[in-house]
Amino acid sequence: LSLLNSFLLLAFADTWQLQLLHFWLFLGIYLAALLGNGLIITTVACDHRLHTPMYFFLLNLSLLDLGSISTTVPQSMANSLWDSRAISYWGCAAQVFFLSLLITTGIFSVLTIMAYDRYVAICRPLHYGTLLGSRACVHMAAAAWGSGFLYAVLHTANTFSLPLCQGNVVGQFFCEIPHILKLSCSDAYLREVGLLVLSACLEFGCFVFILFSYVQIFRIFRAVLRIPSEQGRHKAFSTSLPHLAVDSLFVSTGIFAYLKPPSISFPSLDLLVAVLYSVVPPAVNPLIYSMRNHEIKDALRKLITGCFQKQ
């Protein structure tokens, strides 16, 4: 293990022209993610009207999206641009750690808390301020980040403590735990497989909770009628339905990527699934959460107008 100082990542293409195409495609997606999430973070932070639990957790989600896509995509773009596949041993470990931290915090915690927020806002609107006060929101966010950190430390330490003697070629465009486990020559890798199964069960449990929250929302449709304004009712449903769609894509592709049977594991499928759960959501989430949200649109319009007026 000490002799292994680098890994070779999966190349998207063999020809220089296709490598450049991959670079420009990923650059476009990355810039879209930076712009969209950056605008959400800036808008929520600068507009006091958006200092509510829903937008507080949306800001956290944008931070997680920025971090997760920045962990994988720049390295892949650099490798394509410089016609290289190499990543250092510690760079690979850093990718595993930060991706585990950010995705776990996002799926296990923030998305689950956001579902709870929508449930309380629609089904128990009179108790919203009590159940989701500022202190409770801070505690839930801290618990989300803390649990993600512990999860990342556990999986990273366990994965990179294994003896790796099956070469250094990782069959993915970033360091993904299942592909690193394939390089192990010890039965100890089953310990990490067990942890992945447990994590998938917890992830599925969070998704069931999210699904249950939305089932309650749609079953208690009359509760939405208690929201005094038509704009409030529209906001409730326009944020709930996209949230459920994002969760479904995120959770299903994530579980499939880590627990798919070896018999159906081949490079093109692995690549597609990895892109769907690690690259697409950070770029698409800002569009989904803001394109039908009038409050964010108005706040962003005022922020941009204010910047131009100052100039």
Q: What is the pLDDT along the chain (311 residues), one digit of tens a residue?
A: 445 788 999 888 778 888 899 999 999 999 999 999 999 999 999 888 888 888 898 899 899 999 999 999 999 999 988 888 899 999 999 999 999 999 888 876 787 888 888 888 877 878 888 888 888 889 999 988 998 899 899 989 988 888 888 888 998 899 988 889 888 887 766 777 787 788 778 878 888 888 888 777 777 655 455 555 445 445 555 556 666 666 677 677 777 777 777 667 777 888 888 888 888 888 888 887 776 677 888 888 887 777 766 65
**6 in a structural domain:** no
Question: What's the pTM?
Answer: 0.83
**173 in a structural domain:** yes
Kind and range of the H or E run holding 300: helix 294-310
**141 in a structural domain:** yes
Please state, in angstroms and rounded to a whole number, the distance separating the CA atoms of residues 50 and 54: 8
Residues 283, 284, 289, 295, Cα dihedral to 10°: 60
**8 in a structural domain:** no
pLDDT the model gives residue 145: 92
**31 in a structural domain:** yes
Q: What is the DSSP letter of 182?
A: T
Residue 122's Cβ-count burial label (10 Å; 0-12, 13-18, 19+) is: buried
Instruction: End-to-end CA distance of the chain: give it in Å, rounded.
Output: 57
CATH code for the domain in which residue 225 is found: 1.20.1070.10
What domain range includes position 110?
14-310
pLDDT the model gives residue 98: 95
pLDDT the model gives residue 120: 86
pLDDT the model gives residue 201: 81
Please state, in angstroms and rounded to a whole number, the distance separating the CA atoms of residues 117 and 32: 27
**108 in a structural domain:** yes
Q: What is the DSSP letter of 106?
A: I
* Closest by Cα among 9, 29, 4, 22 to 84: 9
Q: What is the DSSP letter of 132?
A: T
**251 in a structural domain:** yes
Domain count along the chain: 1
Contacts of 133 (CB under 8 A, 6+ apart): none
Contacts 24+ apart (CB under 8 A), 87-93: 87/6, 87/7, 87/8, 87/9, 87/175, 88/5, 88/6, 88/7, 89/4, 89/5, 89/6, 89/7, 92/7, 92/170, 92/175, 92/180, 93/156, 93/160, 93/175
